[in-house]
Structure 1
Amino acid sequence: MAKTSMNEEYFDRSAYDNANRQMQLVKQGLPQDAVSVLAREVVRRLAFRMPRSEAPDTLPNPSEIELLCAALLSADEKAADKFIQAARRDGVKASAISSGYVAGAARKLGEMWDADRISFVDVTLACGKLYSIIRGLRHVLAPTFTAGREVRPALFALVPGETHTLGIEIATDHFRRDGWEVDMLVGLDHDMLISKADQRHYQAIVLVANSDRMMQPLTRLSLALRITQPLAHIIVAGSILDHHPDILHLVGAEAAMPDIETAAATLRELLGPAAI
């Protein structure tokens, strides 16, 4: 995994760059209404990462949030990065970066969007930067997202709106018979699926979709899980793979699971033999 130093802490440059690329592809490859839904998903998931035990004097004040939002809306692609770097240099803890600065900026951006103080283009640009920062800091921020959760090897989740359940049921049964401790979630709407997944810390999450119309809900689900499960590997499975050769980059996934015969090998390659 490529890492470079960011304020004496590990910064995952590869995850940061991949998130940037994903957001560019999303804006280029999906219609504007779909991009708007995805931008609101990022804002919502980040905005409600509220502080749990931070002392008030460690959290940013309104003027600092305004400055971060200005950096996110700036034409300078690195302005927001530099702002967060400066906060880390000043000794701001990772938990305060997540629940204070990032969450505060997401809430402020949402308010500005709802009040028509910023445009659709502005908010998608700012959301993309916030998302990339979170991905880059995923190793540092992960404990603030997954503290207290039981670790499980894998989750098989049917993308909300998908009605073909037989494939995911067969795959889950196949893995369980092979000794894997895997969970399965089917028939849930988007928010309920995220809520259920949040109860555990998964090493890998397999998202199953079949029809072409599932691209938007698949991408939305992947974005949300990238925020709530920052260290999980995302894998795409199902016949949707046949329709989109660049699906992994658009969804932001690490791997594809095209058939049951190679599925176990795909997971072992990502997680290692100790996962079962």
Structure 2
Amino acid sequence: MFMAKTSLDDGVFDRSAYQNAKRQLRLVETELPQNAVSSLAREVVRRLAFRMPRHENAADLPTQSEIDLLCAALLSADDTAADQFILAARRDGVDVGAISRGYVAGAARKLGQMWDDDRISFIDVTLACGKLYGIIRGLRHVLAPQIIQGRETRPALFALVPGETHTLGIEIATDHFRRDGWDVDMLMGLDHDAMVSEADLRHYEAIVLVANSDRMLEPLTRLSLALRITQPLAHIIVAGGILDHHPDILHLVGAEAVMADLDTAIATLRDVLGPAKT
């Protein structure tokens, strides 16, 4: 097996993304009801288990005993055990495709099966999924090239959170940006899986998630988690009336920014992306 101890080296691991992911999931567990937290945990398991990049060399994939060891680390009381396992594997030369499709996806599938078989509790699986999600966020820069390979790069996507029925605001905002010269896409009227699948066709530098009512908090958070996995380098921005209901929405959704009003919307996106993203 790999070395037991390895430091979280900044050249391999994105500390900021990792810490933000951990903070987000801790907040989710305290702010949302248990059924919503369970739904979000299943979303993480599903996306990590079945939507990671393909890797064709079976010789590089982990053995079942290695998957078992990783799951044990994820379920242990040691918050860093799983991190050390993955980082040691990476430093020992394990291909990034094997880490994503082999170790992470394999562990996610096993955790999901253990949950379905009642071999682990709801609390166990949410903690383990949180650790796995944090690892993926921490490794986003090394995993991203395989995930977004071949996709056309677009500056921004405006997406109406599934279940939201107020469409006028997102239509006005998208038109506002296009009139300013931005070549941006808009998605609305889709269910969750269709939204994620459609977004997967391109690599977006920023994704603006629009929601208005308080009841959209769980669908908004679920969509953000899914897009963090499938669009690892995208900046997430939250907009719409939901900002009035949740002052901590930035951390709860795990976003980089909020788009508070139309007057400052373009400036907000420019601040997030940097200059000349038109």
Category of TM-score, reference length = shorter chain: over 0.9
Give the one of 241, 244, 248 matched to 2:243: 241
1:26 to 25, 28, 31: 28
Match of 1:271 among 270, 273, 277: 273
Name which of 31, 41, 45 aligns with 1:39.
41
Displacement of 1:48 after TM fit? 0.5
Cα deviations by residue, 1:51-109 (Å, 9 ceiling, x for unpaired): 52331110001110000000000000000011112211221011211111000000000
**Residue 193 (1) aligns with residue 205 (2):** no
Which position in structure 2 is the counterpart of 1:222? 224
* 2:77 match: secondary structure: coil
1:159 and 1:217 in contact (8 A); partners too: yes
Which residue does 2:3 correspond to in 1?
Answer: none
CA distance in 1, matches of 2:41, 2:246: 22
Measured against aligned partners, the alpha-carbon deviations of 1:34-60 in whole angstroms (never above 9, x if no partner) come to 000000000000000355233111000
Q: Secondary structure at the match of 1:160?
A: coil
1:183 aligns to 2:222 (yes or no): no
Post-superposition CA distance 1:128-177 (Å, at most 9, x none): 00000000010111012111000000000000000000000000001011
Residue 65 in structure 1 maps to residue 67 in structure 2: yes
1:106 maps to what in 2? 108
User: After TM superposition, where is structure 1 displaced by more than 6 Å over at least 4 residues in a row?
Assistant: none
> Partner residue of 2:98?
96
2:80 aligned with 1:78 = yes
Letter of the 2:139 counterpart: L
- Flag structure 2 segments of 5+ consecutive residues without an equivalent: 1-6
- Counterpart for residue 138 of structure 2: 136
| TM-score normalised by the chain length of structure 2 | 0.96
Query: Structure 1 residues 121-130 or 82-91, which shifts more?
Result: 82-91
RMSD: 1.2
- Which segments of 5 or more consecutive residues in structure 1 lack a partner in the other structure? none
Task: Tell me how many residue pairs correspond in the alignment.
Answer: 272
Identity across aligned pairs (percent)? 78
1:254 aligns with 2:263: no
